[in-house]
Copies of this chain bind each other. A is one copy, B any other.
Amino acid sequence: MQKIYLDCKNCDVKAVSFLSYCTDEEAEIVSAAKSCSHYNKGQSIFYEDNIPLGIYCLSKGAIKLTRSNKDGKEQIIRFAREGEFLGYRALIADEPLVATATCIEDTVCCFVPKNVFLELLEKNAQINKHMLKSLCHDLGIADERIQSLAQKSVRERLAETLLFLQKTFQDDKTQDENLIAVTLPREDIANIVGTATETVIRLLSEFKSDKLIDMEGKKIRILNQSALERISHASV
């Protein structure tokens, strides 16, 4: 982790983050109070069970939010990308953090102290509305996830996960919409699906020999999206 300087008023992710709803004056306050850091791939920004001291705003990179069990096996709860926040759920609920945030790419992330964020949330109705809506959306996603884990087979969930990763990690530069533009080890994929690493490897091999996907280096290419959709929705 390495401290760097970023100005909120000219932040390049302002458009997608809550800062876009700030007045210049508010952005000034946030800018003065925040601290930005660079994290390497693999480093964690915060840890499960800790008390949140503020929120984090991703200005570059990608992170995974995970919860670990007693054997150290982690479950990936969700991902966050440029422009998204972390830690606000725990902060607003006034509860400890329920997940650990770990960078899956080199990441730049700004920390905004609790009181500055909470005040902004109270004063600025637009930000408030944005957060409220975003939380409702996320809760809907979580509900779908609960059903998926409870009712779908591993095979169905893997197909679903591949399509999710394709959508979430679209390569902005190449516009190559069938390539999953992130390299996750098989273990991470297993930790999204909620299965063993070997099972993911086996099923990916199957998908490959069925010409549904292909490997390009460490990345996965979707060859037959509609077939994967069919598999993913076989039972639900």
Instruction: Report A's interface with B, CB cutoff 8 A.
Output: 67, 69-71, 73, 75, 77, 88-90, 92-95, 98-99, 121-122, 125, 128-129, 131-133, 135-140, 142-147, 149-151, 194, 234-236
Contacts and interface: CB of A to CB of B under 8 A. Distances in A.
A94 B133 CA distance: 8
A119 B101 CA distance: 36
Contacts of A132: 92, 121, 128, 131-132, 135
Contact of A90 (B122, B140, B145): B140
A133 B69 contact: no
Given A142-B142, A149-B150, 14 more contacts: A70-B235, A75-B146, A75-B151, A93-B140, A95-B140, A98-B140, A128-B132, A135-B136, A135-B139, A142-B143, A142-B145, A142-B146, A146-B149, A151-B194
A92 B138 CA distance: 12
Contacts of A70: 234-236
A231 to B, nearest CB: 13
Nearest to A67: B147
Tally of this chain's copies? 2
Question: Taking each of A98, A121, A150, A234, which has the highest tally of chain B beta carbons within 10 Å of its own beta carbon?
Answer: A150
Nearest to A128: B128
Contacts of A131: 132
Nearest to A77: B143
B143 A99 contact: yes
Which has the most chain B C-beta neighbours within 10 Å: A94, A132, A143, A145?
A143
A73 B147 CA distance: 11
- Among A93, A144, A194, the most chain B Cβ lie within 10 Å of the Cβ of A93
